[in-house]
Structure 1
Amino acid sequence: MDKVREKQKIIAEVNRVSARCMRIIMYFLLVFFSFMLILNKYDALFLGILTAACLFISLIPILIVNILKFDKSILTKHIIIICTVIITGIYITELTYYAFPMMLFPILIASLYYNRTFILYTSLLETAMVVIAEFIQVNYKTIVSIEGKKDYIEVLMNFTIPSILIILFMSFIAYFIVDRNALMIDRNIETALITVENEKGLCFAFSEISENKSKLTGEHIKRVAEYTKILGRASGFDEEYVDKLATAAMMHDIGKLFISDDILDKPDRLTDEEYQIMKNHVLYGEALLQKCPGEVMHLAMIIAKEHHERWDGRGYLGMKGEEIAYISRIVAVCDVFDALTAERMYKKGWSLEDTYNEIITNSGKQFDPKVVKLFIQNFDKFKEIREKIPDMKIY
C-alpha cells in the first residue's frame, strides 16, 4: 500500500461515481426536454434531436467506465468532463438562459475529483464553451433557435457575461470545498498507510515469535511472504491485495505458539501421538485469528488453517481440491518450497533442482496444478528470493 496507489484507487472510484452521475444527467435531460415541450417555445422535433444527441454523448463515459473498464485510466476524467461540457454547450447555445442550470454539472462533477487544478481546468473549458456559443449565436443564426439576438453586444450582455459569472461563482465555491476535502483525504491516506505499516510490523513480530519457538529466525516467514507475492501477482491479483496476502502469509504457522518445545525441537521422527499434536497447530492458528478484525487477519486465519491441506484430500483436515481456498493453495507451494530448501536441526536443505522436481511431481496430488504451473513460470524469481534472503542459524 502506498500513497500513489491509494490516490489512483480514489480516482478510479470517482470515475465510477461520475459515470453514475452521467446517468443522472440523462434523467435530467429527459425532464428538461419535457419541460421545454410544455413551454411550447421550441419545435418538438428540434428539441427531440437536440436531446437525443446529448443523451448519446452522455453514454460515452458510461461506456468507457462500465463496459470498457477504463475506470483507472487517467484520461477518463477528462473525457467525462469534456462530454459534460459539450452537452452543456449544446443546450446553452440553443436555449440560452433556459439552460443556465446545466452549467452547474461540469463544475459539480469536477469537484468530485478532489483536485483544485482540475476545477480550474473545467472552468476554462466552460468559459471557452461560452465564447464558442456566443460566436455561433451571432454568426450562425440559421442553425440556432434563438430569436432577437442580432449582434455581439446583445449576446454578450444577455448571455456571455451572466454565463461566465455563474462559472466563476461555482468554481470559487468548488475550489475551496475541494481544497479542504483534498487535505482531509491526504490525512486519511497518511493515517491508513501508518496503520497498514503498523499492522505489518505486528504480524511480522508475532510470526517471528512463533518461528523462534522452533529455533528459527524470521527468514522463513520473509521468504514465504515474498514467494506469495510472486504467485499472487502471477494469479492476477492487484498490488494492494498482494501486499495483504503476503502479510497474512507470514502468520501461517502462528498456531505453533501452542505446541510444546519438546515436539517442535525434537530432532527425531515424531510419534503418531506427537504428530497429531503438531497437526493441531492449524486449528490453534484458526482459533487465535478468527476474532481478529481486518481483512489481513481474516486472510491469515484462512491460510493458518488450510496451508497444510492437499489437493488430493490427504492433508491435515481432509479438505481437497476447490474446497481449499486458492490463497491457501498458493501458500502451500511457497511453504513447502522454503521448508525443503532450508536447513534444519533434523535435516539438510534440498537443492533447488530437487525441490523444483518434487513440487512438479506432486502437482495434482499435494498441490493445485494451476499454482504449480505459475510456480514453474516464475521459478527464476523464487531462486532470486532464496539467494537474497539466506537463513541465519540461531541453534
Structure 2
Amino acid sequence: MESNRLLSDNYIKINHIASKCMRLFAILILLYWVFTYIGGQCNIVLLCSCMGVCCILTLIPTIFIDLLKNNEGKCIKYVVIALAVLICSILNTTLSYTAMIVWIFPMLVASLYYNKTMVLYTALLSTVGVFAADIVNYRLCDLVIPPAHDDFADNMILVIAPCVIAIFIMSFVSYFIVSRNSTMLNNVIDHAEEVKTNQKELIYAFAELSESKSKSTGEHIKRVAKYMEVLGKASGFDDDYVDMLSTAAMMHDIGKLMISEEILNKPSRLTDEEFAIMKSHVLYGDALLSKCPGQILQIARTIAKEHHEKWDGSGYLHMKGEEIAYISRLMAVCDVFDALTSARYYKKGWSMEEAYTEIVSQSGKQFDPKVVLLFQAHFKEFKQIAEQNADKHIY
C-alpha cells in the first residue's frame, strides 16, 4: 500500500515535469519560427498559423496539470506524448527535413515515466507521425519548406528511413534505461518503507518505555496516536503526514525517561519543587530528540516540547496562541482527553461526556478554539477509539 502511494506521488511529480518540458518545447518552437520567418522559405501565413497551433498545444498539459490540478489520471502520460508527437508532426510537415531533430523530444518525455510500455507507445506513434508528416509535406511543398529530395522514394530512403531508424535506436536505449530506473526506484521505495517501519517500531518501543516508567498503560500511546490521526485528517493534512503525525504523537512524553520514578509515581500532591522538575520533561524531550534525523522524529520533538502549552499562555513554557505549533495544539487536546478519561491508581477516569464538556469549556483558554471545533465534530470517533482501546489493567 505504501509502495503504491509513493509510486503515485512520483507519477504526479513526473506529470508536472512533463508539463514544464512542454513549455520549454514552446520556446524551441518560437526559435524555429524566428529563423524560418527570417529565411522566408515558406508561406508566412501558413508558418505563423502552424507555429501558433503548436504553441497552444504545448500549453494544454500546463492548463490541465498545473492550473486545473488534474495531475493524477493514468491517461495523462499518453495524452502528453500524443500531443508531443502531434506537434512534431506539424513542425515536420511545415519545416520538412530542417525539423527532423524535434523527434528526439517525444522520446525524452517518455523516458521521464518509469514505464517501458510508454517507450514502445512513443516509438510507434513517432514512426507514424514521421511518415504522415512527410506525405503531407509533399502535398504542400509549394507552401512549406520542400522535402530534401524531389523524388518521393529517394526522400523516404535517404531522409525518412534514417529518422525512423534513429527513433527505434533511441527507443531501444530508452527502454533499457527506463527498465533499469524502474528497478532502482522500486528498490529505493522498498528500502524507504523498511526504514520507516523500523523507525516506527523503535518509536513505539521508546514510547512504551517512557509510559511504563510513569505507570501508564501501553494503550494510552495507542489511543493518543489514533486521536491525532483523526484530528490530522480533519485538519486537511495528506495521508503521508497524518501517518507521521500519528507515529510521532506516541513520543510526546519521551522526556519522562529523565524524571525520577519517585516524582512520576508519587501518590500525593507534588511540591512546587517537584512539580518544577516534572515540568522539565518537555525540555528533556526536546533535547533527547534535537539531533535525531528524519521528519517523524522532528515532528515528535515539536510535540514533546509543546504539548503542555496552553492557548492563553499559561502552559509550562508560557508559549501563547499561534506561537504554539499547530500539531502541538492538536496534541494538547488528545493528551488531555485521554488523561481525563483514563483511570489511574490515584484517580477515577471521567466519563467521556464529562471530558468533552471540560475540553469545550476550555476553548480559547487552554485549547485553540479551532482545534476544539474539530474535536467536537469528531467526538464520536474519539469515543469509538477509547472504547476499542480500553486499558487492560490499571497500576
TM-score with structure 1 setting the length: 0.93
Aligned counterpart, 2:60: 60
The 3 A distance-change label for structure 1 pair 145 and 35 is: closer
> Is this contact kept in 2: 1:289–1:300, CA < 8 A?
yes
Q: Output aligned runs, 1:119-198, within 5 Å.
A: 119-137=119-137, 146=146, 153=153, 156-157=156-157, 160-198=160-198
1:69 to 2:69 alignment: yes
1:278 to 2:243 alignment: no
Match of 2:2, as an amino acid? D
Distance in 2 separating the partners of 1:170 and 1:22: 19
Match of 1:23, as an amino acid? R
Aligned counterpart, 1:43: 43
Distance in 2 separating the partners of 1:150 and 1:380: 79
Aligned counterpart, 1:259: 259
Shift of 1:234: 1.1
298-307 or 58-67, larger mean C-alpha shift: 58-67
183-192 or 259-268, larger mean C-alpha shift: 259-268
Aligned counterpart, 2:328: 328
Distance in 2 separating the partners of 1:139 and 1:384: 73
239-248 or 64-73, larger mean C-alpha shift: 64-73
Pairwise CA RMSD of aligned residues?
Answer: 2.2
Instruction: Give me the identity figure in percent.
Output: 49
> Is this contact kept in 2: 1:138–1:155, CA < 8 A?
no
Match of 1:74, as an amino acid? K
5+ residue gaps in structure 2?
Answer: none
Shift of 1:177: 0.6
> Is this contact kept in 2: 1:234–1:374, CA < 8 A?
yes
The 3 A distance-change label for structure 1 pair 4 and 148 is: closer
Distance in 2 separating the partners of 1:142 and 1:340: 87
Deviations 1:160-213 (A, max 9, x none): 433432321111110001111111111111110011111111111111110010
Aligned counterpart, 1:80: 80
Distance in 2 separating the partners of 1:172 and 1:338: 60
Aligned counterpart, 1:315: 315
Deviations 1:273-320 (A, max 9, x none): 222211111111111111112211111111001101111111111111
Shift of 1:64: 2.2
> Is this contact kept in 2: 1:88–1:102, CA < 8 A?
yes
The 3 A distance-change label for structure 1 pair 22 and 185 is: same
1:105 to 2:105 alignment: yes
70-79 or 286-295, larger mean C-alpha shift: 70-79
Distance in 1 separating the partners of 2:240 and 2:143: 53
156-165 or 223-232, larger mean C-alpha shift: 156-165
Distance in 2 separating the partners of 1:148 and 1:160: 10
Distance in 2 separating the partners of 1:147 and 1:309: 76
Distance in 2 separating the partners of 1:147 and 1:278: 85
Match of 2:315, as an amino acid? G
The 3 A distance-change label for structure 1 pair 236 and 75 is: farther
Match of 2:298, as an amino acid? H
Match of 1:42, as an amino acid? C
Shift of 1:392: 2.3
> Is this contact kept in 1: 2:126–2:167, CA < 8 A?
yes
Distance in 2 separating the partners of 1:348 and 1:59: 65
The 3 A distance-change label for structure 1 pair 252 and 263 is: same
176-185 or 30-39, larger mean C-alpha shift: 30-39
